[in-house]
A and B are shown apart, each in its own frame.
Chain A
């Protein structure tokens, strides 16, 4: 008996569920949206400032697109199973609950990151910035870190209140990521948004050019510390979500 097989089984099964024509069209529209915004800005402004374009790229991809993608892929981890009457089949399997959580996490990260990377390619072409290769590498890494951190963050509301998971996740994103994350206090150390901003600033070489008031909103430690912090946060949140899910009880659905 190997729990790893179960995790891979869930990941591949969830990806198959995501590969419906409707979902693919929605993902394509989502991927095209940042490029459309970039094109519009470029057309209106006439000339696109590189730093402004990078900030816009950051707001559109690792923040907006990744958050939206994870909201629709990670949040329904339990709710979908309850709606499809498949929860009982999964819950009675050894390690079924853990496999469901971790497999869905893998699928959500893979799907969202793929869509965001596709969007990154389109947006860079639309922006027409010099040095796009380096920007692509920086943003690919940021997208991956964002997906890992935010998918784990959304796992908690998804298992605590499955039927209100998306609403709860939006609230968590607003309160934790965009309120606590922008407080110049110790609490922002526990947010993914601080780590992402800090990575962006470091990889773009903006540390010295950053105004004092903005410098308070980033962490000056090396990139590997930021990445390890996100990995540690994600691990803690996934373990917490797994423990909660392993203890959850849903009244079994009656036969129709």
Chain B
């Protein structure tokens, strides 16, 4: 369905997408990456707003740029907030459906259905300027689905939504993905996880890993974490950590500092706390290691570049993850 073959997009000397090759079958797919990773550029290529500087992009077997046949089958919800203020959601969505080539009455009906579907029926005729950001976000989503596309492309669709609205939209989008295809870009793993979508992780314009959510989780679980602590007897704590079998590496910092690399930070923290209580060791500071998404991305980049070790540790990529590591 979506095929990128060595696709590269340059903005002058700035790289948006870098030699990206990926094949996505019909179904739900998530595109995960931090801000500035190249997700929006990739979606721009997929939705025919941009043409690759090098390589090839095909959607439904055809190049999307300037191709009305392909564009008619794509619904796109951009990340940027809608600054069209005077129009109401009904007018805006009707306008977009008419732009897809439908007559006014057919477009009005399709818009009304989409607006009800995203739960905006009560405010359908209020100016967009008077709506919350979450409601404008739903308006954008209604505009993307109203013409009944085969592929729905969403860029950070849950920005600005309260938890209830987020849940409603996740349910809606997940329902959509049961019968048609979906590509969602987000910098939040749990958002894509909630959609039961396959994952492609992008960073610096490159695909660094792809696979199922469980496979990415397994990869994350293998990542090393560091625990930094300060105590009055750091050498004793180091002995306890080594004895527990949970420590993968140690580094002393000054008289009181100790950094321990581990594959199971929770268990190690519990073990150290228990031992400190029994032996009367005063721990004055304990900072858990970085297992945040940024940390995960950093690690994936290291894997991608063939740098096996991060923080003195070397987790292996789990089997099954179609990691692009080392390519």
Asked if A99 CB lies within 8 Å of chain B CBs, one says yes
Tell me the residues in window 81-98 of chain A with beta carbons closer than 8 Å to chain B beta carbons.
83-86, 88-96
Asked if B311 CB lies within 8 Å of chain A CBs, one says no
Q: Which residues of B contact A255 (CB under 8 A)?
A: 40, 78-81, 155-156, 159
Q: CA separation between A255 and B35, bound complex, in Å?
A: 9
Interface residues on B, range: 35 or more
Q: Which residues of A contact B40 (CB under 8 A)?
A: 252-255
Contact of B86 among A20, A89, A90, A91 (CB under 8 A): A20
Asked if B30 CB lies within 8 Å of chain A CBs, one says no
Partner-contacting stretch, out of A47-55, A209-217, A243-251? A243-251
Asked if B266 CB lies within 8 Å of chain A CBs, one says no
Q: Which residues of A contact B86 (CB under 8 A)?
A: 16-17, 20
Check B68–A1 contact: CB distance below 8 A: yes
Asked if B194 CB lies within 8 Å of chain A CBs, one says no
Q: CA separation between A86 and B68, bound complex, in Å?
A: 19
Asked if A218 CB lies within 8 Å of chain B CBs, one says no
Check A92–B102 contact: CB distance below 8 A: no
Contact of B49 among A17, A84, A249 (CB under 8 A): A249
Check A85–B83 contact: CB distance below 8 A: yes
Digitize B128-172: 1 where CB-to-A-CB distance is under 8 Å, 0 elsewhere. 000000000000100100000000000110010000000000000
Asked if B25 CB lies within 8 Å of chain A CBs, one says no
Digitize A180-193: 1 where CB-to-B-CB distance is under 8 Å, 0 elsewhere. 00000000000000
Asked if A8 CB lies within 8 Å of chain B CBs, one says yes
Check A89–B76 contact: CB distance below 8 A: yes
Tell me the residues in window 198-226 of chain B with beta carbons closer than 8 Å to chain A beta carbons.
none
Check B80–A254 contact: CB distance below 8 A: yes
Tell me the residues in window 63-102 of chain A with beta carbons closer than 8 Å to chain B beta carbons.
83-86, 88-96, 99
Return 29 A-B CB contacts under 8 Å, by A number: A1-B68, A1-B72, A6-B100, A8-B98, A9-B95, A16-B86, A84-B83, A85-B84, A86-B83, A86-B84, A89-B78, A89-B96, A89-B140, A89-B143, A91-B48, A95-B99, A96-B99, A249-B49, A252-B41, A252-B49, A252-B80, A253-B78, A253-B79, A253-B80, A254-B79, A255-B40, A255-B156, A256-B80, A256-B81
B-binding residues in A (CB < 8 A) = 1-3, 5-6, 8-10, 13, 16-17, 20, 83-86, 88-96, 99, 246-247, 249-256
